[in-house]
Amino acid sequence: MAEVVEWVAVAARSEALLSLIRDQSQRHRFLPDGWRVLGVPEEEHGVIGSTMEVEARFGPGTTPRVVQILEMGDDFLTEGPPGGDNFLTTWIVQARGEDTIVQAEILFKYGGFVGEWLTRKPLRRDLKQMLSRLKAVAEAR
């Protein structure tokens, strides 16, 4: 399994950031270019088992994927396809002084070693853009 990890410091309370990340209906506000929310079918968001459908650039093209909240704690959220196959994203939010650090880690399997190597750079770019947009949304609140 390959891994991409990025982080950003945000001038916002950790509770506000976790709330924003957990609220799947708000995810469209900080997805990277080429990704989009196709649907958020549940009425209740931000609980273990709630799902949304996204079209994500993962590899050479975009693919629709169901993303489910698999695990949550006081300072983290893990999401991925039901069953955790193919990719997992873990968001970790921790207060550090006046800022809050948001770390996003994606573990993924894609087309063996070569597919993972080719996918890593675009996925890192997308993750950086997503964190940058999350920061802008959170600091504008």
pLDDT value for 18: 95
Model pLDDT, residue 59: 64
Give the global pTM.
0.90
* Spans in the chain with pLDDT lower than 50: none
The answer for residues whose C-beta is within 8 angstroms of residue 115's C-beta and 6 or more apart is: 59
Question: In the prediction, which pLDDT does 97 show?
Answer: 85
Position 87 scores a pLDDT of: 85
d(C-alpha 137, C-alpha 141), whole Å: 7
| Backbone torsions φ then ψ of 45, nearest 5 degrees | -110, 160
- What is the structure's pLDDT at 27? 93
**Domain CATH for 56:** 3.30.530.20
What are the C-alpha distances in Å from 112 to residues 31, 60, 80? 26, 14, 19
pLDDT for 73 equals: 96
d(CA 112, CA 80): 19
Phi-psi region of 112 (alpha: psi -120 to 50; beta: other; left: phi over 0): left
Identify whether the C-beta of residue 3 lies closer than 8 Å to the C-beta of residue 116. no
Range of the domain at 123: 2-140
* pLDDT at position 88: 93
Tell me how many domains the chain contains: 1
pLDDT (0 to 100) of residue 42:
64
